[in-house]
Structure 1
């Protein structure tokens, strides 16, 4: 009879604990407006930059957090920049690997892959409705695609505890 409680205790001990929640913060900054203002405003035609930072708490040191999938829904009044954001060939989303508590000593352990040659196998997907992720964007003359309503970013690897990463992309206000 004593074996049942011992077996139950062993099973509970073998069950992996749930990871503590990640902290995600999002910011929006107006980069430029069509009037060329020194202090740009959120006007139609203004370019805005979105930044999302995710941090894995130190409490997750013994609990692996792997292969993240982040969905960014776009407001109805913006169109996504689908042309390269920074370096040619890097795509419209920039992945900036974080570090251990801001020290620069330890990478997040995650990676992001973008490929114009193989868009169906890279880490970035586009949607016109937030449910179907097969849309391939077409940039207009300014580099934007108004049909994109959401993006899904796939990060692979083990997210190291007490580190962070940032995603950055741009849109234009309609």
Structure 2
């Protein structure tokens, strides 16, 4: 997880302020966050803070029970709807990581950018619709002001562990108040 106490202290919310707006929205939407994922390869952090920004590593579509959305979109019955759910699940994992790293989801000022990679067949041309799963989730959870973001979506012939999508994010943080 985090290896730097300096990094951890810059992300720890002040004990004098504690918001629950975003978490209340999660409850209203009946969304349950999965456990925050750890690295799946040779790197030791899932996000990095620099200059009020949080750079979130690629997240996989891992579900609450530990299974994953796998396979190529456009093959074997894996259509846009399947990909949309996979991207939404990867987005939930990103939010889980934000919660674990920040302690308080109201520390998120703005979801700046989402980058999604979709494992798809050569003839599949709707990666942008698949990534709507993550984008729609961010808008639902963080609202229009903080959740509206820039986005890129690309297709590829394969992804690690045969996952259907991988999503990374850039998040602007509210200033830290001691």
TM-score, L = length of structure 2: 0.31
Relative to its length, the structure with more strand (as a share) is: 1
Q: Which structure: greater helix fraction? A: 2
- The structure that has the greater radius of gyration is 1
